[in-house]
Amino acid sequence: MATVQVSEAEKVYILHGIRDDLRVDGRSCEDYRHMEVETDVVSNTDGSAKVTLGHTAVLVGVKAEIGKPKPMIPNEGYLEFFVDCSANATPEFEGRGGEELGTELSNTLYKVFNNQHSLDLRSLCISPGEHCWVLYVDVLLLQCDGNLYDAISVAIKAALFNTKIPRVHISSDDGGGKEIELSDDPYDRMRLDVENVPCIVTLCKIGHRQVVDATLQEKACSVASLIISVTHKGIITCTRKVGRGSLDPESICEMTEAGKRVGKALHSPLMKLLQQEESLGKKRQKVGFLG
């Protein structure tokens, strides 16, 4: 991942600040940086969103395609995640440099959505065993300034909220075969219920405390962090330790508790914001990228 070099003196400064619940940019330990969310930013997608968090910028596009359900679960559609770490974000990602991080991120996203309640996958089924909607969730990192996981998860939630899938009608023809007919009414579209879609909270262990939404400098001071994905009800759908250090069991308990608290609080303002933005309709002023 993109890293910065931090000197010993800087480390001590950051560490002492965090001990007193005051971070370099004036936040307390459980505060996020300024976050901006904008949906419906790319017209060729079925749903898209852009999130900026500090200087981290993430763009998510969702495309729905008709595919074949997985043989073991014939009555559900499925999601495919792909995270592209382009050299735009940092020169380190050039060539195959970003591949490792990309796989790590997308594998974690599969885990976050690997449960029955996050998204109603049955609603994505068109005809059991034959056709279903496959949602391709493509994540693009535009700028990289720490805390990718959280920004990506918020962007995915917003993009899924924004996703509109055309309704389909199945009619049988004379030979008994089935025919899929796409609705030609542009307003006759299916929405997804994103209430249960979890958000990821990354907690960095720095000194004896944990901080939310660490900047790159703060990340350089920490040896281990914990990723927790939390739904609006406080259910944890995925946890994972990342980094080269280890954590003692007590602090893991503290961190999950803090993660649940922060994650739960993240959902309702986000949903409110998304609904508000949508109610504006065409009057909404578009900000655009990196704006």
Partner 1 sequence: MPTDTKRVRGPDVSQSPFLFWSRPAEVLPSHEPRADGRQRDQVDVRPVFVRCGLVSQAKGSAYIEAGNTKVLCCVYGPRETERKDETDMKSGRLTTDMRFAPFSCPERGSWIQGSQDKDFSLMLQESLQPAVCLHRYPRSQIEVNVMVLENSGSILAHAVTCASMALADAGIEMYDLVLGCSLRQDGGSYVVDPTYPEENSWRSGSREKRGGLTVAFLPSLNQVSGLQSDGEMAEETLTAGIRTCIEGCYKLYPVIQQALIKAVRRAAPPAAES
Closer by beta carbon to partner 1, 26 or else 71: 71
- Mark the segment that binds partner 1 (CB under 8 A) among 28-36, 110-118, 166-174, 179-187: 110-118
Q: Which of residues 230-289 bind partner 1 (CB under 8 A)?
A: 234-249, 252-253, 256-257, 260
Q: Closest distance between partner 1 and the C-beta of residue 155, in Å?
A: 21
Closer by beta carbon to partner 1, 103 or else 275: 103
Closer by beta carbon to partner 1, 104 or else 195: 104
Q: Write the burial class of residue 286 (CB in 10 Å: 0-12 exposed, 13-18 middle, 19+ buried).
A: exposed
Q: Closest distance between partner 1 and the C-beta of residue 130, in Å?
A: 14
Decide: is 107 part of the binding site for partner 1 (CB under 8 A). yes
Decide: is 73 part of the binding site for partner 1 (CB under 8 A). yes
Closer by beta carbon to partner 1, 47 or else 98: 98
Q: Are 151 and 109 in contact (CB under 8 A)?
A: no
Q: Which of residues 204-233 bind partner 1 (CB under 8 A)?
A: 224, 226
Residue from the set 106, 143, 153, 217 that interacts with partner 1 by CB under 8 A = 106
Q: How many residues bind partner 1 (CB under 8 A)?
A: 36
Smallest CA-to-CA distance from 37 within 281, 279, 283, 276 is with 276
Q: Closest distance between partner 1 and the C-beta of residue 205, in Å?
A: 11
Smallest CA-to-CA distance from 34 within 42, 25, 43 is with 25
Q: Are 101 and 85 in contact (CB under 8 A)?
A: yes
Place of tokens 């594998």: 107
Give the pairing of strands 168-172 and 178-182: antiparallel
Q: Look up residue 142 and give its two tokens.
A: 């535009």
d(CA 130, CA 290) in angstroms, rounded, equals: 42
Q: Closest distance between partner 1 and the C-beta of residue 274, in Å?
A: 23
Closer by beta carbon to partner 1, 184 or else 248: 248
Decide: is 111 part of the binding site for partner 1 (CB under 8 A). yes
Q: Is 245 left (phi over 0), alpha (psi -120 to 50) or beta?
A: beta
Cα distance from N-terminal residue to C-terminal residue, the chain: 25
Decide: is 201 part of the binding site for partner 1 (CB under 8 A). no
Q: Are 88 and 144 in contact (CB under 8 A)?
A: no
Decide: is 167 part of the binding site for partner 1 (CB under 8 A). no
Contacts of 101 (CB under 8 A, 6+ apart): 1, 83, 85, 93
In the stretch 12-41, what mask flags binding to partner 1 with x, by CB under 8 A?
A: ------------------------------
Decide: is 85 part of the binding site for partner 1 (CB under 8 A). no
Q: What is the DSSP letter of 110?
A: H
d(CA 93, CA 102) in angstroms, rounded, equals: 10
Binding site for partner 1 (CB under 8 A): 71-73, 103-104, 106-107, 111-112, 114-117, 224, 226, 234-249, 252-253, 256-257, 260
